[in-house]
């Protein structure tokens, strides 16, 4: 019996449809409808092209001469249209029993699928979101470039205005706040890109105190009455005796709060650059922009700013001009306004403090007019150093401890310390800004009583700068 060979259409006897390649019938080694595996040539031109492309490290799909993409996009520079994920390249052995599985290819993402980055939130939106989510849980903040050089406590105070400053110092002291995964101190400085981990906190909802327009105008007028120098970037105030620079426990009226009345239409509020004690009068620098604040703060850290203080002290020093170099540490580390003590190098919390002093005038052997030039800027540095050399400042409730000493008649029992003069590079031009503050009323009264001339030459200008 003679067996006739099957027709060219395949085992089913069907002829190939016009316009279709015979190679397409063997793609992926799929079985036919009757369950039998398709047969045919082990390789085709398409298989060879795909394997050659894989050996060269290319994507065969981008060099597909048979696909519709090649006809629709003849220009090679045009990226291919996004398509659904294709099956693995066909291998002749894949369709045979016991054959090797097809090699896996990692398809590179198409440029057309990459979405453009969404615009980030504004600084005001970031602060609002941070304040709203502060009580919900732990969050991580990223230091922005214009926040470079800020102290950690100032950074948190700026990001979370509703958080009391004393609470900020508490969480930093307890180690609940981490910077790049490490514990930090309140006076540590931040750099752009650092991550600050903020623990979950509960904020006390502030009671809304309506501020009338008249009160805003009064606060603005009061602040403007204190201005000694002003331009578009900064201003220098003559802070009066008894006015706190920042708020605290039981402190309602302070310079930082009064500056709210000078907030501009763009939402920019003047910012504090440094601090003075509540009972210290004199020059206080205020920045009008964040950039000016960062630049002025760097001037203080680099000791490019020069400060001169005047004080009325008890007794007359034997050395008319001298240098005081000690280490200072808080007697109560948990108290933000604790008394400073002279410590030893290596003691916990001890920082080096350096001050130059010069005697300008004296009243017999009872009182001295001393001029100070601090090189460092430690808490209560001048008050602690004056007490350390045996000549505490008159009216100092923390450091004055001279036995059997009576306050001369006509002199008020108030701290006689004045931030007399400051010279600092301008944040934009770099040229020095030199401003002097007048004596506050209680010190002017003492100067008149003792016969001191405020226009007298101050020998502290000849003291070293470091």
d(CA 441, CA 347): 40
For residue 157, what is the enclosing H or E element?
helix 152-159
Tell which residue, 281, 292, 301, 282, has the closest CA to residue 422: 282
Q: Look up 266 and say whether it is catalytic.
A: no
- 294 neighbors 145 (Cβ within 8 angstroms): no
Q: Which residue is catalytic, options 219, 233, 277, 279?
A: 277
- 435 neighbors 283 (Cβ within 8 angstroms): yes
Tell which residue, 124, 191, 188, 119, has the closest CA to residue 158: 124
- Residue 169: CA count within 13 A, CB half-sphere: 11
Strands in 364-447 per DSSP E: 367-374, 417-425, 432-436
d(CA 107, CA 52): 16
Backbone angles phi, psi at 446, to 5 degrees: -65, -40
d(CA 426, CA 185): 29
Token pair for 354: 């350096």
- 60 neighbors 79 (Cβ within 8 angstroms): no
- 382 neighbors 415 (Cβ within 8 angstroms): no
Rg (CA), the chain: 39
Tell me the three state secondary structure of residue 123. Answer: helix
Tell me the three state secondary structure of residue 171. Answer: helix
Tell which residue, 29, 68, 23, 74, has the closest CA to residue 45: 23
d(CA 170, CA 137): 18
Q: What is the DSSP-derived secondary structure letter of residue 189?
A: B
Tell which residue, 135, 188, 182, 192, has the closest CA to residue 160: 135
Strands in 15-173 per DSSP E: 139-142
Residues marked active site are found at 277
């Amino acid at each position: 019996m003679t067996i006739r060979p099957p027709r060219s259409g395949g085992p089913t006897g069907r002829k190939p449809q016009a316009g279709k390649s015979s190679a397409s019938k063997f793609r992926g080694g799929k079985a036919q409808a009757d369950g039998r595996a398709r047969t045919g040539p082990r390789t085709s031109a398409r298989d060879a092209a795909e394997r050659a492309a894989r050996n060269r490290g290319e994507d065969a799909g981008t060099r597909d001469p048979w696909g519709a993409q090649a006809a629709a996009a003849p220009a090679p520079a045009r990226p291919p249209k996004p398509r659904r994920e294709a099956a693995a390249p066909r291998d002749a052995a894949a369709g045979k029993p016991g054959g090797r599985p097809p090699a896996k290819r990692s398809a590179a993402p198409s440029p057309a699928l990459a979405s453009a980055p969404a615009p980030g939130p504004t600084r005001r939106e970031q602060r609002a979101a941070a304040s709203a989510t502060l009580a919900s849980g732990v969050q991580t903040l990223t230091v922005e470039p214009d926040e470079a050089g800020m102290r950690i406590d100032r950074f948190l105070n700026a990001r979370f205005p509703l958080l009391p400053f004393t609470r900020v110092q508490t969480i930093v002291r307890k180690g609940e706040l981490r910077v790049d995964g490490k514990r930090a101190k309140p006076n540590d400085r931040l750099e752009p890109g650092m991550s600050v981990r903020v623990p979950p906190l509960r904020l006390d909802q502030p009671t809304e105190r309506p501020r009338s327009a008249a009160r805003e105008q009064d606060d603005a007028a009061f602040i403007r009455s204190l201005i000694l120098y002003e331009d578009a970037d900064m201003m220098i105030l003559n802070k009066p005796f008894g006015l706190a620079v920042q708020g605290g426990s039981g402190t309602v009226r302070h310079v930082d709060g009064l500056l709210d009345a000078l907030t501009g239409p763009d939402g920019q509020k003047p910012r504090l650059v440094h601090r003075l004690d509540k009972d210290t009068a004199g020059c206080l620098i205020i920045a009008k922009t964040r950039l000016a604040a960062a630049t002025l703060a760097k001037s203080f850290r680099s000791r490019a700013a020069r400060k001169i203080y005047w004080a009325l002290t008890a007794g007359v020093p034997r050395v008319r001009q001298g240098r005081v170099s000690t280490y200072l540490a808080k007697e109560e580390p948990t108290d933000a306004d604790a008394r400073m003590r002279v410590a030893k190098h290596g003691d916990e919390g001890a920082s080096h403090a350096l001050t130059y002093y010069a005697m300008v005038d004296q009243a017999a052997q009872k009182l001295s007019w001393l001029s100070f030039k601090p090189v460092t800027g430690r808490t209560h540095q001048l008050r602690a150093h004056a007490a350390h050399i045996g000549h505490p400042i008159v009216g100092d409730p923390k450091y004055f401890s001279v036995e059997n000493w009576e306050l001369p008649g006509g002199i008020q029992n108030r701290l006689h310390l004045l931030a007399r003069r400051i010279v600092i590079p301008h944040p934009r031009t770099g040229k020095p800004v030199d401003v002097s503050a007048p004596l506050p009323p209680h010190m002017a009264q003492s100067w008149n009583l003792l016969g001191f001339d405020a226009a007298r030459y101050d020998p502290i200008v000849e003291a070293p700068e470091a």
